[in-house]
Every structure is written in structure tokens, then in C-alpha cells.
Structure 1
Amino acid sequence: MKRLKTYLFALLPLAFITFSCDEEDILVQEQLDNNPLPGAETGDGGVLDLSNYISLGNSITAGFMDNALYTNGQNHSFPNLLATQFAIQGVGGGSFNQPDINSANGFSGVSGTNILGRYELSLAQQRPVPTVGEAIGDFSGNKSELNNFGVPGMKITDATNPGFANPYYLRFASNPGTSTVLGDALSTTPTFFSYWLGNNDILGYAVAGGVDESSITSQPNFQSALEQSLGALVQSGAEGVVMTLPPFVLLPYFRAVPYNAIPMDDQAVVDQLNDGFDGLNRALDGLVQLSALVPTLNVTQAEADARKVEYALGANPILMEDDALVDYDRPGGEFDMLLAFNQINAAERQALAPYGQSRPATAQDLPVLTSATVLGTPVGGSATALVGITVPAYDNLILSVSEFETVVGMTATYNATIAGVVAGINAQANGSITLVDVQPAFADLFGLTPAEATALFDPSNGTNPALAAFAAAAQERADGTDADPNPGLGINIEGHNLQPDFRPNGIFSTDGIHPNPRGHAIIANLIIEALNNQKGADIPMVNVTALRGILARDF
């Protein structure tokens, strides 16, 4: 009996546990019945055949970000994110292979004997700083199985050029020196493509501060290359998406450094600088007076005032070189005429030499991001010859207002060409191409007013009055006189406000040009949205905020 009682007492805990588990299972089942767990994500490709998707483009397509091509950036390229969504059950996508760089930090340049890698945002220094980089080797995978044909630096005309010696292409080219990017892409027999070329055809000019107009692709050459590439892709039987070009002048690369980036907090220094520029300012007034006597001179007071330099406490405009100005320092020019009419002596004439095409910057001028490390630095070891303060900032450091208008005008011209070519092909190929206009998203992201959007998207070769409205608004924001300096700035995604810069909640990478992973996800979703609306597809969107923003460090 004792043994039986021991046995029965031993069963009591077991019975309690069994009863508790059964009861819990019932409760869990009730919860599942009332709130079923989501099943595997599914979608629908509609009329699209996404089984062999290829991407053709430049650095953004390749996943270049933080001023380098590196593995994590490639993994977050918008084509790779798209392919992931295409591979969801029911959508019909296949595998997507990229020319893996196999580098954690990539390559962004060389400093002495050091190889520099991708940039990270230093929270302590409040600026991007490079990591330790790595030399880039050849692609070791199967070149015939590639899907991403994005090449950093590629122009629209390069896609069909067998002599395109870009090192990023040569590392995965099927036959370097003979093959072309377009030919390699077509050899995969694509069923669907994304095409985003044309950015570098004007962006290269802008990023370099507008110093070389020969780097801009002419509209006829742009159109010819576009027709050749898109025509060949469609004739292969593939359908695809083509992207318009964004308003480049809004990129953080052109907005991070203000036009009035010269701080003054010492009145003695201000007085010393103004004394030094007194000779220039008097010479400019002298040209106005001389213009009334000499028919060949035509210097107005407004022009002279725009070139005068005067410092004050607080934020001061950068002293800049502007090659759109008449060069007063040219032989026989305005400064020489002052000397000829005994308005100045030889020493004063020599002192004017650096300022033949200089003026203080205005809010319409856009210092490039790289100017931040050059402004205020001494020239030739001189403590008084400082870039942007006493020596005009070099032309490559600032996109001037005239160069700004060139960028805006050519971007609009290219976009009109893209729309026209796509419409022409679609008329012959039963709507094979879906045009994805990225500009409304940029207008939303940067909080543009209708007038500003019109100025940037349809500038009528720089003569549209709305361009002045854009400049006026920029001036008000820079001066702090705008009642609402950031109207609607940023874009709301999944309950988060993401900013148009490379702060921790921004969508751009630390180079100020290329998107970070969240920015790439937004681009992918623009494409998905267009396909869902126009092709009867039901492709799930990318979860933007699940992806990282910028890479940052504390030191």
C-alpha cells in the first residue's frame, strides 16, 4: 500500500503538468483561431515575366555608396532588393547574381601609402571619415550568370562602347576590350530589365564644380545611345522599367556646405580683412566712374557691388572664382585700363590680379561637399592667403549660379529625351517599357513648393521665372528669414520621417550623392508601385525602415 501511495503521489505532479499543458494548448489554439499568424508572403507578377531580371545602370545600380563599392552596399542595391521581392512566392522571379566585390570596406582612394575605404559618419567630428580600404580584385564568379550590370562612372554612351576601360566593368567583362556592357547584359537572354543611365552624363560636370562643359553628353548623342540600348533590350523580347533623372542640385553633396561658410567672431580680424580689400573695392568703384568716360568700358554699379568684398561678424559668404564673369585681369582688360588712366599704380594693379573673376558667393551658388576640407586652408604656406577668405575659392569647389542653371537645364533636356524615346518605343512595342518618374518623390523628400518644383523640373533652359523663385527661397532659408525654413522636409515612410541628407535618419550615404540602403529601398518601391499600377502585378513592397541608414562611429 505504501508503494502504491508513493506511486499515486508521484503521478499527481505529472497529472497537473498534463492538465496545465492541455489547458494552455487550448488557449493558444483559441488565440490562433481569432488572430491567425501571417503565412508565407505571396505576390503576383501580373503580366510580367520576371524569371530572368537584369539591371543596367551606373553606380547607384551597382550599389556604390559611402564613396566606395563594398559588399554590404552591393547587397543593398535597389536591383538586389527588387530581385528579393520578385523572388517572393507567386511573383515569378529567379536568382539574381551580382559581380561581388568581396570587400568589407572597398576602395575610395589613396592617402600617401594608405588605401582608403568606404566612409562612415563620425559623430564626434560631425563629418564623414574614411575607413581602412582594400585593393579591389577581379570578379571570381561565373560571368555568364550575372544579372547586375551596374558600373560606377558609366555614361549612357559607354554601354555600347567596346573600348570602355572602366576598371569596375573590366573586372567582370566577358571579353575585356571587345565586349560591351549592353552586349553582356543581352547575352543572358533577359525577360525583364531595369535601366537607369544618364546620371553621369551631367552629374560628373556638377560634382567637379562645373569646370568642364566638354564632359556633358550632347542631347543628340544622349538620345542616340538611349535609343540603341532600349531598342536592343526590347527587341530581345524583354520588358522593363526606365527611370528618369533626379534634380541633382538638391543632393546633400551640394547642400551640406552653406554658401556663407566663413565664420567671423573677432572684430579685429574683420577690420584687418576689410582694410585689405579696400583697394579692390575702390578699384571697382573706379571702373564704374571710368565707364562714364570710356565708351569701351561698361561696368555698372550693380556689377561692381556684386564683386566687392566686405566682412562682418557672423557667417560670411565664401569668396569665390566665377568663370562666367568678365575677367578684369585679362591683358588689356578693366584692371589694365585703370592703370592706363592713372587710377591705380603698378603695385596696386599687381595686387588686383587674383580678383579678375571673383565675387562673394550667394545662396544661388552651391559649394560642393569636398570644399569643406579646403576652405580656410593656406595657399603656399602663407598665413594670410586663405582659400575662400582672401584667395578666391577655386572654380571646382563651387557650382556657381550659371553652372547650376546648366545642370538644371540639361537634366530637364535629358528627361524630356527619356520620356520621348520611351513613348516612341512603346508605340511600336505594345507598351513594353514602364517609365518611372522619380522627380515627384524628390519634390516630396525636399519639401519643394510648386514653384520650386517647376523651376527644377521644367526650367525652359534656365529662363523660366520659377528658377528665380527657387533661388529666392534658397536665399531666405540660408539667411534664416523664411518663416518655415523646412516646409515638409523629409519623407514619411512607415511612420518614420526620413531626411534628405546623410544624418542617422537620412536616406543618403556619407558621400552625399548615393542613397544608403533605406534610400535604395525607396527607389525599389517606386519601381514596384509603378509595376503594380501599370502591369497588374501585386509585388510586395520592401520594408524600408527594417534596413539600416548610414554607417556611423562615435570617434
Structure 2
Amino acid sequence: MKNLKIYLFALLTFVFAIQSCDEDVDLIAQQLADNPLPGEVTGTPGSLDLSNYVSIGNSIAAGFQDGALYTDAQNQSFATFLGRQFQVTGVGGGSFNVPSINSANGFSGTNPAGGFFGRFELSLSLLRPLPTAGELPEAFDGDKSSLNNFAVPGMKMTDISNVGLANNGLYARFATSPGTSTVLGDALAVDPTFFTFELGANDVLGYATSGGADEGDITDAATFQANLQTSLGALVGSGAQGVVMNVPLILTAPFFRAVPYNAVPLDAATANALNGGFAGFNQALAGMVQATLITQADMDQRMVQYAAGPNPILIVDDALEDLGPKFDLLGLPATLRAGLEPFRQSRPAVATDLALLTAAGEIGRDLTGSGTVLSGISVPIADNFILTQAEQVNVITARATYNAIISGVIAAINAGQGSTVLAEYDINVQMADIAGLTPALATQLALSDAAIAAADGVLGIVVEGVNLAPDFSPNGVFSTDGIHPNPRGHGIVANAIIQVMNDTFGSTIPLMSVLPLRSVLTTD
């Protein structure tokens, strides 16, 4: 009887377990019915042949980030992201091969203490980018005939057919024949079926990042147009279709926004000491007004007066009259006249001036070791660290001119082909949103209707329900160099290009998820 009880108890336990399992199975089945597992991600190419996608561009398309070209950044460029999305089932894309730099940190400059600097990382304790240890890039030892990314950091529109681009080591390392081959020729040689074209920013960027030092750094419109027509004409003539990116609003990047114009914090004692040092200069200006050598308005913008708290950077403005000859007319002793020499075209910065990111390490630098000749404080900071409003107008005008040319050339080629073979990606739709432009300012900048509509006046861009910042913070979309996107920024660009393709060519290429991508690399 005892054994029978044990048997019956065991049987009841077994039946209860079976019943529980059945209930669990039913519950799981109901959950699956209510929340089905996602099926295989698929897409279609529409009227495009994406079997051999080629990227032509400059540093952004190459994946240059954090001041360097390094392996992880190459693998997280918008071009690489596009290549991956084109390989989704049904889209028909082939492999996408990059000329790997084979370097964890890349090269950003020579270290005065020995060796080389690599990519920058954001120091969370110092709140500024710090360089890693880097290495010089080596020649690409892979199969050059199977490459897909022909983007070269530093390349201008005028360089795409220039054999002299071999002087740029980042092209020479993968050029089929350095000194003879060209980027356009190498790209055409792999028989592309589809391409993205991202050139034009460098035709004005060098001028902007050098503080407007040389207007000759801006490519003239006729040369820009001729090279664009030749390049796109050759690519389309080969049978390829493509998406052409226009020139972004580069002045909204953190390189031009991270350092405020009034980045000189002073206590009252230091401000008073500096004011004592500038008393003679200010008196000289007042004397020149009395002698009708300059106007009161000119004097007002040049006078230096410090106070406790944040103060404007003392800058050089080459648009100002050079007062050197008029200083000579004051009849000052030689030592006093020599003391005025640095201030021939100086003035305190105003809110419309843009201090470059490079100015962060220059402001307050002791130029002589005496502790009294301080860059941007007791003497003007060099012109290449500041972009004045007049210089900004040059940048804005060049961008607007280039973008009008890009739109016109695309329209002309499509008309000549009798169908839409080229689509334009207006990156300023995203840039206007990220920068928090107002519709009025976007209109003033002659942006497209779509960019004006995206200008909501709120800093940052909402992606998958999260607002990403217009900076190189851990929540930002830029890399630590303040110019190039980080991987999340590249994901935003890739998705926007895919949307243009889907809208223009009838494809159904799925968008990628941006938030899982990393932002900036950080260090303590």
C-alpha cells in the first residue's frame, strides 16, 4: 500500500508537470501570435543594378574620422554602410571592398616627443580630444582591381582626373599606377553599375579651416563645373547610375562652433593688469580720432577693454584698414611705436566671428616664455585661427555656387539621357536639422525647400526617437575632429541616401538602425 501511495503521488506530480508544460506552450504560442518573430529582411533594387557599387569622394566617404584614417572608421563610413545594405536579400548588391589602412589608430601628425600621433579620443576628464599613438600609413597590399571605395581624404573636385593626386599618400597607397593613374580612371576600370559621388566640400573647406587665409584656396566656379561635368559624364557614359551628394553647410560643424568668441576667462585682477597694458594703445587710437586719421566707429571696434568673466579673443581682421602708416604719423618714440606693431589690424572678436577648434590650444599660449605675450589676450591670435564674418560670406557663397552647379549638371545629364540616371542627395536637409537652423536663417542661406522645412530651430536631430547632438559629445553625431561624422552620423547619411534611392529609382532597400552604432571613442 505504501508503494502504491508513492506511485500515485509520483503520477500526480508527473501529470501536473505535463499540464504546466502544456500551459507554458500555450502561453508561448499566444505570445508568438501576438508578437511574431521578424522574418528575413529583404529588399528590391527597383530600376538600379547594384551588383558593383563604387564610392567616389573625399574624406567623409573614405571614413576619415577623429583626425585620422583608421581601420574601424573605414569600416563605419556611409559608403561601407551602403555596401552592406545593398547586400540585403533581393537588393542584388555585391561585395564592397575598401583599401584597408590596416591601422588601429591611423596617422594624424608627427609627435614632437617622438613617433606619430593617431586618431583622437574624447577625454572625459579634460573634456577635450586627446591624440593616441599612431603610425604612418603603408601601401595597400590587397587586390586593387576589386576595390569599391575610391574616396581620398583631401581630394578636391579638380583632383579626380589629376595624376598629381599621387602626391597625396592616401591615394598613392592604392592607386593602380601612382603618377599615371587617376581616381576617375581607377573607378571606371572596375566597371561600376552604381556609384555615389561626394566631392566639392574640400574646394572651400581648406579656406575655411585656415581662417580664410587665402581666397585662392576656393576653387573657381568654371573649373568646378568643368571637372564635375567630365566626371559625371564619364561615369554615366559607362552605363552606371548614381547619387550625387551636394556640399554641406560646413560652417555649422563643431570645428567652427565649439570654441566661443569670448573664450578668455579673466579674474578682476588680471583684467585690470591687462587694461593697464593696453592704456597706451587705446590712447593712441583716441589721438588718431582727434587727428581725423580714423573714425570714432573704427576706434570703437579696435579698443581693448577687459573685465572679470569671459572676454572676447583679441584677433586679426585683415578686412580692417592697416594702421601701420598712420601709427607712423603719430611721431611716437621708437619703443612706443614698436609696441603698436602687433595691433595694426587687430580688434576684439564679436559674436559673429567664428573661432576655429584649433584656437582652443592657442588662446593664452605664451609666445615668448615671458608670461606677458599671450596669444589672443595681450597680442592678437593669428589670423588662421579665426573666421570673420566677411570670410564666412566667402564660404557660404562658394557653397551656394557649387550646389547650384551640381543641381544644374545633374539636370542636364538626366535630360540628355532621356531618363533619370542621377539623383541628388541634399545633405543640407540633415545639416539644417542638426544645426538647429530656423526656417528664416535657412531661407537666408538659400537652402532648398526640403532643408528649410527641416530647419526646426532645435539643436540636434531626432533619430529613432532619440535626439542626437550637433557636436562630438558621447551623444553627438560628429567625430572628435569637429568636421567629420562619427559612425552614427555616417548612419544618418547612409539612410538619407537610401531614401533618395528608394524615392527616385523605385527600390525598397531597407534602412539601417543608427542608434546601435557607436558615437565617439572616449578615454578617461
What is the TM-score normalised by the length of structure 1? 0.89
Unpaired runs of at least 5, structure 1: 292-296, 460-485
| Superposition pairs of residues 72-87 of structure 1, within 5 angstroms | 72-87=72-87
1:221 equivalent in alignment to 2:223: yes
Measured in 2, the distance between the counterparts of 1:457 and 1:514 equals: 23
Instruction: Give the Å deviation of 1:13.
Output: 6.4
Matched, 1:259 2:261: yes
What secondary structure is seen at the aligned counterpart in 1 of 2:67? coil
Tell me the residue number matched to 1:328.
323
Counterpart secondary structure, 1:515: coil
The amino acid across from 2:237 in the alignment is Q
Which residue among 353, 369, 372 is the counterpart of 2:341? 353
Aligned to 1:141: 142
For the aligned residue pairs, the C-alpha RMSD in angstroms reads 2.0
Structure 1 residue 287, shift from structure 2 partner: 1.7
What letter matches 1:450 in structure 2? Answer: P
Task: Give the deviation of 1:134 after TM superposition.
Answer: 2.3
Corresponding residue for residue 154 of structure 2:
153
Distance 1:525 1:303 in 2: 50
Write the letter of the residue equivalent to 1:56.
I
Counterparts of 2:21 and 2:169, CA distance in 1: 64
Alignment deviations for residues 19-55 of structure 1 (CA, whole Å, 9 cap, x no partner):
5444433432333233321101111221111111110
Secondary structure (helix, strand or coil) at the match of 1:222 reads helix
Q: Measure, in 1, the Cα distance between the counterparts of 2:334 and 2:180.
A: 60
Q: Does 1:399 align with 2:404?
A: no
Cα separation, partners in 2 of 1:11 and 1:176, compared to 1, 3 Å: farther
Indicate the larger mover: 213-222 or 180-189: 213-222
Q: CA offset at residue 71 of structure 1?
A: 1.2
Partner of 1:249: 251
Q: Quick one: distance in 2 between partners of 1:226 and 1:312? A: 52
How much does 1:222 deviate? 0.6
CA distance in 1, matches of 2:447, 2:15: 79
Q: Aligned partner of 1:195: which letter?
A: F
Q: Which secondary structure does the structure 1 equivalent of 2:328 belong to?
A: helix
Contact 1:121 1:550 in 2 (8 A): yes
Aligned to 1:466: none
Q: CA deviation at 1:402?
A: 1.6
**Aligned position for 1:378:** 366
Q: Deviations over 1:247-301 (max 9, x none)?
A: 1111100111100001111x2222221121111111112222222xxxxx5x211
Counterpart contact for 2:256–2:355, Cα < 8 Å? yes
Could you tell me how far apart the structure 2 residues matched to 1:168 and 1:16 are? 71
How far the C-alpha of 1:552 sits from its partner, in A, is: 1.1
- State how far apart, in whole Å, the 2-side matches of 1:175 and 1:8 are: 86
The answer to whether residue 183 in structure 2 is matched with residue 181 in structure 1 is yes
Superposed counterparts of 1:81-480, under 5 Å: 81-112=81-112, 113-164=114-165, 165-265=167-267, 267-291=268-292, 297=293, 299-329=294-324, 333-339=325-331, 344-429=332-417, 430-457=419-446
The answer on 1:549 being equivalent to 2:510 is: no
Amino acid at match of 1:345: P
Quick one: distance in 2 between partners of 1:30 and 1:348?
Answer: 90
Deviation at 1:14, TM superposition (A): 6.2
Contact persistence 1:210–1:399 (CA under 8 A): yes
Q: What is the distance in 2 between the residues matched to 1:531 and 1:370?
A: 37
Which residue of structure 2 lines up, in the alignment, with residue 31 of structure 1? 31
Tell me which amino acid in the other structure corresponds to 2:97: N
Percent of residue pairs bearing the same amino acid type: 56
Shift of 1:432: 0.7
Distance 1:35 1:450 in 2: 41
- Displacement of 1:304: 1.3
Question: 3-state DSSP class of the match of 1:151?
Answer: coil
Corresponding letter in the other structure for 1:427: A
SS at match of 1:545: coil
**TM superposition shift of 1:487:** 4.1
* CA distance in structure 2 between the partners assigned to 1:147 and 1:326 by the alignment: 51
Please report how far the alpha carbon of residue 380 of structure 1 lies from its aligned counterpart in structure 2 after TM superposition: 1.6
Query: Matched residue of 1:370: which SS?
Result: helix
- 2:467 is paired with a residue whose SS is strand
**Cα separation, 2, equivalents of 1:457 and 1:150:** 28
Aligned residue for 2:453? Answer: none
Question: Is the CA contact (8 Å cut-off) linking 1:247 and 1:456 kept in structure 2?
Answer: no
Indicate if the aligned counterparts of 1:244 and 1:435 stay in contact, CA closer than 8 A.
Answer: yes
Aligned residues of 1:152 and 1:168 also touching (Cα < 8 A): yes
Distance 1:107 1:353 in 2: 39
Distance 1:390 1:30 in 2: 75
Q: State the number of aligned residues.
A: 514
> Cα offset for 1:11?
7.4
Q: Distance in 2 between matches of 1:208 and 1:384?
A: 26
CA distance in 1, matches of 2:422, 2:58: 19
Which residue type is aligned with residue 444 of structure 2?
Answer: A
